[in-house]
Structure 1
Amino acid sequence: MKAAPDPTSRLRAMGRAFADRNYRLFFAGQGVSLVGTWMTRLATGWLVYRTGGADAAWLLGAVSFAGLAPTFFLGPLAGVLVDRWNRHTVLIVTQVLSLLQSAALAGVAFAAGPGPGTVWLVAALSVFQGIVNAFDMPARQSLLVEMIARREDLPNAIALNSTLVNGSRLIGPAAAGAVIAAAGEAWCFVIDAVSYLAVVAALVAMRLPKRDRPRTAGSIRAHLIEGMRYAFGFAPIRALLLLLALVSFAAMPYSVLLPVFAAVVLGGGPHTLGLLSAASGVGALTGALYLASRRSVLGLGRVIVIATVALGSGLVAFAQSEAVWLSAGLLVLTGAGMMVQMAAANTLIQTMVDEDKRGRVMGFFGMAFQGAAPFGSLLAGWLAGAFGVQAVVTGSGVIVIGGGLVFATQLPRLRRAARPVYARLGILPEAPDGVSAATEQAHGARA
């Protein structure tokens, strides 16, 4: 009779990346900093809404676009430079620049008065932060590998990172609401600026192994072309990036339309909006914890298909719901689907990519994940004015489901393409025929 799984063993597996001192430092510093980041996101929106006047709704979309679009345009170039530079140094610089940006936002907020002048200053600082983030994402994702001594613990580190992001997503906005009510938006930005000191201190305290970085030959343009050919010439990475871009473009914009659902469709107010946002965050946190509990990449291809279809189905059902608690429950599903799809794709890409091209591939990852979303938000806002928010979110869900099903049809081919890479890296044990049996399943269902 098969023994029941040991819950204690599963809990230990969830935290196995903490065995590395460097990762423990990174996790602790990020835990403090991310709460401040989410406080700034909410405070920025409220400051724009408060000072934007009659154009506040349009300005909210414009400021959001200003903060995210640079990743789309600069992500690939940033990835090239991250591969040429010291990733640890790049990440320290991005954190210091983010600290200065938050301090500048605090100065703007302390002096803020009604009118467009304040909003355009906020937009300009959002563009600056977007440029910083374009470099921060590939540097952060690439450095993660250097923090983890055992490559098989990398999926756990990525999942724990996602858990941290979504845990802070629940704490930060609530804290920001209390601070804004008590003292105003400026103090949220001050707290965020101070919080960056924690992650800078953690990065400085790390003792990373010395890695011989080969001398860079060739121009930036040549390296960009090489990275593009590698990322989009290798079928498994190309398929994961395209699916991620589709989901980001079609599904993420629903969050921009949440205020309309809360007020118009569900007949609620700020508390309803808070409930919907929290429900999505709870789902994302649950999905991240599920991934952290997994011991390997075994079966992640199937997991991506299930998560993508669940996300699309949740969006379609949410668009039709007119009951608050049903809508909140469906957003738990969509939040979990979004997080699992994104983090699982990240895990598979990180375990397959060649080390000397990691920064460039993660630049394309940032372009797909963060860069596609603002364009989808702009389109969704325009279509919502013409056809209504329910029709737009329904269409988004159908597109996501279609993308997931197309990806499912490609899994056998992607599995065959990835098989030699996993066998060469020795990430998973070899099957009797010399092929990694786990890799067989890591990219989809058995044929």
Structure 2
Amino acid sequence: METRCLHVPPERVSSSYHSLPRTTSARHRPHLSERSDSTAGPSAHASALSPLRHRMFLAMWLATLASHLGNSIQAVGASWLMTSIAPSPDMVALVQSAATLPIGLFALLAGAIADLYDRRLVMLAAQSVMLIVCVCLAVLAWRSLAGPRLLLGLTFLLGTGFSVYGPSLQASIGELVPRADLPGAVSLNVLGLNVARSVGPAIGGGIVALGGPAAAFAFSAVAYLGTTTVLANWRRRPPPREKPPEGIARAVLTGLTYARGAPAIRTVLLRTIAFGLGGSAAWALMPLVARDLIGAGALAFGLLLGSLGFGAVIGALLNTRLRRHLSNEALVRAAGIVYGAACIVTAFSPWLPLTMIVLVIGGAGWVQALSTFNVVVQLWSPRWVVGRALSMFQTAIFGSMALGSWLWGHFAESFGIAAAVATSGAAMLALPLLGLVLRMPADAVAQPES
């Protein structure tokens, strides 16, 4: 008996979903023939580490971990360099905006590219660009030639490379593991990002303290070199196309049409935007939290970012277990409350150890929400459009963080660092109220087709 994945959200599915264009007909919706040995929800027998049994997934996971490590170390170097060449809060916050804005601008285009072209080659090209940019940053910082605009421009270019890499990476996960392991694989992907965010900033802070930003950029370039080596040696077998080839412009339009007509995807994107806007202050202003609120230097900045990342590691490891017992709506609501409370304590804490502890807790909350958003998008998207759906998710989170970083930076310029971080925390505490009108969909579940 042929099976397919029927979407059963807790709320009534609106009629707009049934009026999608022909490209989103039933034969293109998610079906289990792609992964017939699994169900759509998290398996009772799958553990958080089950996807690592698949050899190619393990290799890609390690390669991506190296890339994220390079990103984290580069971010510390760029942010701390800006505190020395243009130390105002809005300029420091613009480093975060420059890193995340390209993802908001170009992710949908990158998603279409991921669906249309060989994803291995796309990822290889993106990592090569990131490698070249980091080498340039290292040379410029070493020669003391990196002004604020040049630093922001190269950081923007680095973010562009990451925006192209991300959708191809995430769209490849479904090729590397069976569907039963997909939620665990997504969580492990987030785990790798946050392992890098926990270890990378601490390493980056130490490198900057010892050798300056130039050394941090050089270390990042080495990390990207390792990732490009793995990608160059991957012998990928592209899966068969589910629909005829289309141009990039049409592919982008089709992806937007699909998202507009799918209530579940639309809801997740709106909740993601709200989460990124409200919670971006701590990420953007962390260098100034370390310098002004705690009175410490680059190493403390790295430790604070590392605490957020370490908490996210814990959250990612717990995500599979929590998803068995809590609804997606309950997870997202709890995540907003936990992260918001952590931001408020951070705003008023003058002690590094206390701030690190609450940021660990806040990081766990942050990743619970992002993992849940990501998994829901993966499970509700048919394979022919999954790259574009994931790119829209990336556009939502990173675009909202870029805009939020800029807004919180200006808020901090007028009212102070502590006020900005505390207000951001208060906004996150209120965010669960969105669930009253935009309730998170449940996971898609499999039903036999009659």
* TM-score (structure 1 length as normaliser): 0.81
Residue 137 in structure 1 maps to residue 166 in structure 2: yes
Q: Aligned equivalents of 1:207 and 1:292: distance in 2?
A: 30
Aligned match of 2:340: 312
Aligned match of 1:76: 108
Residue 41 in structure 1 maps to residue 75 in structure 2: yes
| Alpha carbons of structure 1 residues 258 and 123: separation in structure 2 relative to 1, 3 Å | closer
Describe the superposition over 1:339-394 as per-residue Cα deviations: whole angstroms up to 9, x where unpaired.
11001210111111111111111111111111111211111121223333343333
| Alpha carbons of structure 1 residues 58 and 190: separation in structure 2 relative to 1, 3 Å | same
Equivalent residues of 1:155, 1:347 under 8 A apart = yes
| Alpha carbons of structure 1 residues 298 and 352: separation in structure 2 relative to 1, 3 Å | farther
**Offset at 1:99?**
1.3
Aligned match of 1:437: none
Q: Secondary structure at the match of 2:240?
A: coil
Residue 128 in structure 1 maps to residue 128 in structure 2: no
Equivalent residues of 2:170, 2:390 under 8 A apart = yes
| Alpha carbons of structure 1 residues 105 and 276: separation in structure 2 relative to 1, 3 Å | closer
Q: Aligned equivalents of 1:259 and 1:49: distance in 2?
A: 8
| Alpha carbons of structure 1 residues 295 and 202: separation in structure 2 relative to 1, 3 Å | farther
**Offset at 1:72?**
1.6
Q: Aligned equivalents of 1:163 and 1:219: distance in 2?
A: 34
Residue 18 in structure 1 maps to residue 52 in structure 2: yes
Describe the superposition over 1:32-89 as per-residue Cα deviations: whole angstroms up to 9, x where unpaired.
3332322222122233333x1x556543333332222122222222222222112222
Aligned match of 1:189: 217
**Offset at 1:174?**
2.8
Q: Aligned equivalents of 1:24 and 1:78: distance in 2?
A: 24
Q: Secondary structure at the match of 2:446?
A: helix
Q: Aligned equivalents of 1:238 and 1:322: distance in 2?
A: 41
| One-letter code aligned to 2:169 | R
Q: Aligned equivalents of 2:294 and 2:323: distance in 1?
A: 41
| Alpha carbons of structure 1 residues 384 and 186: separation in structure 2 relative to 1, 3 Å | closer
Once the two structures are superposed, the pairs formed by residues 283-302 of structure 1 within 5 Å of their partners are 283-292=311-320, 299-302=327-330
Aligned match of 2:417: 389
For residue 118 of structure 1, the aligned residue among 147, 150, 164 is 147
Aligned match of 2:16: none
Provide the aligned length of Structure 1 versus Structure 2: 407
Equivalent residues of 1:76, 1:360 under 8 A apart = yes
Q: Secondary structure at the match of 1:423?
A: strand
Q: Secondary structure at the match of 1:212?
A: coil
**Offset at 1:266?**
4.7
Q: Aligned equivalents of 1:107 and 1:327: distance in 2?
A: 34
Q: Aligned equivalents of 1:273 and 1:92: distance in 2?
A: 31
Q: Aligned equivalents of 1:356 and 1:130: distance in 2?
A: 26
Describe the superposition over 1:196-242 as per-residue Cα deviations: whole angstroms up to 9, x where unpaired.
23222322333444411256455433332221121232122111111
Residue 94 in structure 1 maps to residue 126 in structure 2: yes
Equivalent residues of 2:107, 2:392 under 8 A apart = yes
Gaps of 5+ in 2: 1-43
**Offset at 1:158?**
1.5
Q: CA RMSD in A?
A: 3.0
Describe the superposition over 1:249-284 as per-residue Cα deviations: whole angstroms up to 9, x where unpaired.
110222223344445445555565455333322221
Q: Aligned equivalents of 1:100 and 1:41: distance in 2?
A: 16
Equivalent residues of 1:22, 1:208 under 8 A apart = no
* Larger deviation, residues 54-63 vs 347-356: 54-63
Residue 211 in structure 1 maps to residue 239 in structure 2: yes
For residue 351 of structure 1, the aligned residue among 360, 376, 379 is 379
| Alpha carbons of structure 1 residues 380 and 370: separation in structure 2 relative to 1, 3 Å | same
Equivalent residues of 1:72, 1:372 under 8 A apart = yes
Equivalent residues of 2:99, 2:156 under 8 A apart = yes
Equivalent residues of 1:280, 1:334 under 8 A apart = yes
For residue 175 of structure 2, the aligned residue among 122, 142, 146 is 146
Aligned match of 1:340: 368
Identity percentage of aligned residues: 26
Gaps of 5+ in 1: 1-9, 435-447
Residue 258 in structure 1 maps to residue 286 in structure 2: yes
Aligned match of 1:157: 185
Q: Secondary structure at the match of 2:147?
A: helix
Residue 27 in structure 1 maps to residue 38 in structure 2: no
**Offset at 1:296?**
5.9
Describe the superposition over 1:374-416 as per-residue Cα deviations: whole angstroms up to 9, x where unpaired.
211111121223333343333323332333232255448x34x
| Alpha carbons of structure 1 residues 81 and 297: separation in structure 2 relative to 1, 3 Å | farther
Q: Secondary structure at the match of 2:241?
A: coil
| One-letter code aligned to 1:138 | P
